[in-house]
Amino acid sequence: MRTNNNRQGSSYRGRTAGNRFRRSIKKLDPKMFIKSASGMVLGGEFVLGLKFDDFKIIDKLKRNIAEHGYKAPTEIQEKSIPEILSGRDVIGIANTGTGKTAAFLITLINKSFLDRNQRVLIVVPTRELAIQIKEEYRIFAKGTDLEAVALVGGVNIKQQTYALRHKPHFIIGTPGRLKDLVNRRELNLSQFQNVVLDEVDKMVDIGFIHDIKYLISLLPIKRQSLFFSATVNNKTEEILKQFVINPVTISVKQQETASSVDQNIIKLVNGESKIDALHDLLTEPGFEKVLIFGRTKWGAQKLANELIYRGFKAAAIHGNKSQNQRQKALQQFKNNEIQILVATDVASRGLDIDNVTHVINYDAPESYDDYIHRIGRTGRAGKTGKALTFVD
C-alpha cells in the first residue's frame, strides 16, 4: 500500500465510497479530507525575533522555559504574553497546538510568584486537558513553591476537597466538577483574581454553556480574564460579554486545518476488510506513533482489543475507562511504550502529545469541526504529520 499523491481527489485505495460512509458523515464530502501539507507550519516558532529572555518575567521562569527546550515564542505567545503581563483581559483566537497554554501559564505563574495572594482558576472542557495543563504547569513552576490542583470528574472528590484546604495558587478544572465543589461549599470562586477559559468552543459544544455562565457569576468583579478559543460564534459571544472587560483580541488562526498535516483518504477495494486494511497500514514504515479515532466507546475498545490480538502495542481511551486507566494509556503513548492509541473524540481537543506521526480516522468524524481537532494531534511543534480517513 502506498500514498497516491498525483492529484487532488486521489486516495490510498480503489473504489468509491459506499452508502455506509455517506450515512455516517452525512454532509461531509470525502474531498474535504484530502489536502497536502504546504510546508508552512502553524504553531512553529514565530519570526519577529523576540526571545523568552526579552519578556519581563522572573529569572526562575526563564530558566525553566529554557530547560523545557523552548527557544523562541510562537505567534500567540509573542503577541499575548506582553498583554497578559500588563494586566489586560485577552481574547485569544488560535488553532490548537499554537502554544497558548504556555502563554497563559508563564504569565500567571510570574504574577502569582510576585504576589502570593494572586490565585488562578483555569477552566477547560475535558479531564485530559486539565491534567495535561497541570503537567505543563509543573515544568514552568518548578522551584517557585506555588501549588496547583486539578479538579476533574472520575477521581475521588474527597481527595480534591482535601487539596483545596491547602489553598492552592492554581486550580485547573472541568465545569461539572468545579460546579459540584462550589455547591458543596468546598470551593469559593470569589477568591480567584485571575481566570482562564480555555477551549471555550469545545465547552459550548458539549453543553457546558450554562455551567460556565454560572461559574463566571461567582467570580470577583475585579479580575483578569483570559479567553482562548479556536472559533467564536453566537454562543461563545454570550460568554464573552459576561466575562471580559475592555479586552485586547489576538487572532493567529490562519486556516481551518494546520498546513503541516498531509491529509488523504483510504478507500476499500473488492470488499476487503477494514481491519485488514488498517493492519497493512500499521505495518508500513513510518507509522511509529499512531492515534486512531473511533466514533463509539464500544467500537474503540473492540478495535484496540483486535489490534492487541494481532500483535500491536495498543491501548484505548474513552468514556467507559476510569480516569486512572485513561491517564495510564496516555502516559504509555507519550512515552512510546505503545505504538497505537485508539480514542473517541474525548481525546481530540487540547492534548499535546509529541511526535504523533499519523492520525487515522477509522470512523469518519460526525462534523468537520471534529475532523479539524482530531487531525490537530499531529503536525505539531514544527513537524509534518499525516491524517488518513477511511472511506468504506
- Residue 199 is part of a domain; what is its CATH number? 3.40.50.300
Tell me whether residue 223 is in a domain: yes
In this structure, the number of other CB atoms found within 10 A of the CB of residue 248 comes to 16
pLDDT number for residue 67: 92
Q: Please, is 228 exposed, middle or buried when counting C-beta atoms within 10 Å of its C-beta (0-12, 13-18, 19+)?
A: buried
- 274 and 197, same structural domain? no
**Angle between helices 157-164 and 175-183 in degrees, nearest 10:** 70
- 282 and 152, same structural domain? no
Tell me whether residue 135 is in a domain: yes
Sign of CA dihedral 341, 133, 105, 80: positive
* Residue where a domain terminates, one of 251, 279, 313: 251
Of 84, 105, 240, 94, the residue nearest 169 (C-alpha): 105
- The C-alpha cell that represents 13 in the structure block: 485505495
Of 97, 165, 167, the residue nearest 132 (C-alpha): 97
Domain range enclosing 83: 52-251
Q: Please list the residues that pair with 251 across neighbouring strands.
A: 93
Q: Please name the amino acid found at residue 215.
A: L
Tell me whether residue 5 is in a domain: no
- 239 and 93, same structural domain? yes
Between the CA of residue 344 and those of 97, 243, 302, 341, 361, what are the distances in Å? 19, 31, 12, 10, 10
Tell me whether residue 11 is in a domain: no
Quote the pTM value: 0.64
* Residue where a domain terminates, one of 234, 251, 268: 251
Cell numbers 483570559: residue:
226
Tell me whether residue 289 is in a domain: yes
- 108 and 83, same structural domain? yes
What whole-number distance in Å separates Cα of residue 341 and Cα of residue 56? 40
- 118 and 192, same structural domain? yes
Residues 6+ apart with CB under 8 A from 204: 212, 233, 235, 236, 239
The pLDDT tens digits of the residues spanning 149-185 come to: 999 988 889 999 999 999 999 999 999 999 999 999 9
Tell me whether residue 89 is in a domain: yes
- The C-alpha cell that represents 106 in the structure block: 508563564
Of 203, 225, 222, the residue nearest 212 (C-alpha): 203
pLDDT number for residue 349: 59
pLDDT number for residue 257: 52
Contact indicator for 256, 372 with CB cutoff of 8 Å: yes
Tell me whether residue 75 is in a domain: yes
Contact indicator for 10, 264 with CB cutoff of 8 Å: yes
What whole-number distance in Å separates Cα of residue 130 and Cα of residue 166? 19
Tell me whether residue 7 is in a domain: no
Widest pairwise Cα distance in the chain: 67
Sign of CA dihedral 171, 176, 181, 187: positive
Question: Considering its fold, how many domains does the chain have in total?
Answer: 2
- 339 and 206, same structural domain? no
Residues of the chain with pLDDT under 70: 1-32, 35-49, 253-259, 347-351, 381-382, 392
- 286 and 332, same structural domain? yes
- 278 and 233, same structural domain? no
Contact indicator for 131, 150 with CB cutoff of 8 Å: yes
- 57 and 37, same structural domain? no
* Residue where a domain terminates, one of 209, 235, 251: 251
- 93 and 65, same structural domain? yes
- 58 and 33, same structural domain? no
DSSP summary character for residue 16 = P
- 267 and 218, same structural domain? no
